[in-house]
Amino acid sequence: MTQNQLHGRLPGVQVGRAVAALAVFYFHTHLALGNFDPARLHTWQFLADRGAAGVDLFFAISGFIVCYVSSAPGYTPFNFLAKRFFRIYPLNAVVTIVMVLLFSRSIGGPPHEIELERVLRSLLILPQKAPMNAVGWTLEYEVIFYLVSAILIPLGGVRLLLLWCVAAAAIGAEIDPQPPMIARFVHGHYANFAAGVFAYMMVSRLSPRWSFSLVLLAAAIGAYVYGLQLTPWMTPVACCLAVAGMALLPSAPRPVEWLGDISYGLYVWHWPLFMLSPWLARWLRLDTGSGEIWRWCLLLILVLVASASWIWFERPINRWAAGWLARRSKTAVVAGAASSDVRG
């Protein structure tokens, strides 16, 4: 990639985020359809069985993005971590509070599941066995990966980060299972982060082209559909090829990009929505044969909720954080120049 391409918006990566979020949504829809007649559902069995791999794709995209951002002019570990903090923590806090309210009403679980330590760990995204929002365990991996990246990339670049991810995956595979505090640092999931880092190393030497992209995406699909029969380690290989292929997409339909923009909201909001689903179905007096329609109605509701979350909550916070960091950097430059003048 050229310098301009390297630091611009990558529409294909947004497509990848959309695909990952929708795959996880579909994988979990059975949780919302328990009151419906299973014989009347038209389940796409491939996604029902393998949709959890959306998490693997999310991890690989994070590996790619960390390296991509670190190559931008003006990158500093502090700015990187600050942006990640404001991107992840505020919405997680809101959803955690919603989950506390749902549990307090005995929706999705008995009231005794509300424990102060569990709530605090969920708000702070600290390792634990059962976050308030069940999908929050993935955020724990993301946070640890960001912290490690901010330390290792300035020391040894993306190659050192790749080495650490591979080592963490290998060690984790040998000592599995581990308690959460250890697992978040060494686990097979780091093979997917490594896949994203390696995808960046591939893409940084190529230019966006449909031919490159489609070949890599076809190889990714083949590796995932057929490779898992050989070894489960084909999932990181497929993720690597997929992320590289999507990063090289010259363009993507704006509606799909939008789903990528709101993908974090799609991911964290779908679990509380599924907890509310049985109550909503009873309130609406839905027929037990309408489960398939209800599945797609839930997706529409989720898109609306995630869109509202992005427009009125996430995006304003991100913009404020970007402005604050820009002002902070400008102040630091002015202070540095003044100090140089004094010494001169």
d(CA 250, CA 12): 7
pLDDT tens, 67-124? 999 998 889 999 999 999 999 999 999 999 999 998 887 765 555 568 899 999 999 9
With 0-12 CB in 10 A as exposed, 13-18 as middle and 19+ as buried, what is 73? exposed
pLDDT at 202 > cutoff 50? yes
Q: Which two tokens stand for residue 252?
A: 């993507």
Model pTM greater than 0.85?
yes
CB 24 within 8 Å of CB 159: no
pLDDT over 90 for what percent of the chain? 77
User: What pLDDT is attached to residue 4?
Assistant: 38
pLDDT at 269 > cutoff 90? yes
Provide the pLDDT confidence category of residue 337 given band limits of 50, 70 and 90: low
User: What pLDDT is attached to residue 5?
Assistant: 47
Distances (CA, A) of 58 to 199, 283, 296: 13, 35, 23
pLDDT at 342 > cutoff 90? no
53-71: average pLDDT? 97
pLDDT over 70 for what percent of the chain? 92
**Position with higher pLDDT, 144 vs 226:** 144
CB 156 within 8 Å of CB 166: no
Contacts 24+ apart (CB under 8 A), 180-189: 180/127, 180/128, 180/129, 180/137, 180/140, 181/127, 183/127, 184/127, 184/140, 184/141, 184/144, 185/144, 185/148, 187/141, 189/56, 189/59, 189/141
**Mean pLDDT, rounded, of the chain:** 91
User: What pLDDT is attached to residue 89?
Assistant: 98
